[in-house]
Amino acid sequence: MENNPFIFVRFFKTLELILSKYTPDQIALASTIKAIVFDVDGVLTEGQIIYSNSGDELKIFNVRDGLITNYLREYGFLTGAITGRHSTLVQKRCEELKLDFFHQGVRDKWSVLEKEISRLDLEAKQVCYIGDDLIDLRALTQVGLGVAPLDAPGYIRQHADLVTSAKGGEGVLREVADLILASQGYFTEIIKKCL
């Protein structure tokens, strides 16, 4: 397989498919990231809260976001979630994803993120933060790569370094992780493992 020129072309096309959507500046920012931190509602979900007749909260998560966290962990990236609400369902999902940290009921997300950056011995420029609303704005603008989903309000998107082509709940984390993994040369290794 290593000497097959057609496999090399496929790998190149895969990287081109991922990276061609981004500017050189966005790729350069992504290439320095060591941690991806995200909001939950509006990023991992489409931002809706559904209650059953018995009062149970229901949410829909995108499986592709979950799968990519395994590869992020395998290649040494840190992951975390900071959400403004308390939810047993979200806690369960974050535990399934085996995130490095998870905080609920947070109003000042930058303050919590800043403490995690220090605890993990990182610099803010090495962090990607994905958020979709006013409560995320400060964190989004203080890190190395601030990302907003396509359906975030315009006044949030205008402050982001990158706006995804995906809406909240439709693979936002996956899109950002693919970019970061590809910009740092890991994505071809992932494809090789999956062939």
pTM for the model: 0.92
Averaged pLDDT for residues 126-140? 98
> Considering its fold, how many domains does the chain have in total?
1
Going by DSSP bridges, is the β-strand pair 127-130/145-148 parallel, antiparallel, or unpaired? parallel
The region of weakest confidence among 58-62, 131-135, 148-152 is 58-62
- The domain that holds 103 is classified in CATH as 3.40.50.1000
pLDDT at 50: 84
pLDDT by residue (tens digit) across 168-190?
A: 999 999 999 999 999 999 988 89
Can you give the residue range of the structural domain that contains 55? 5-194
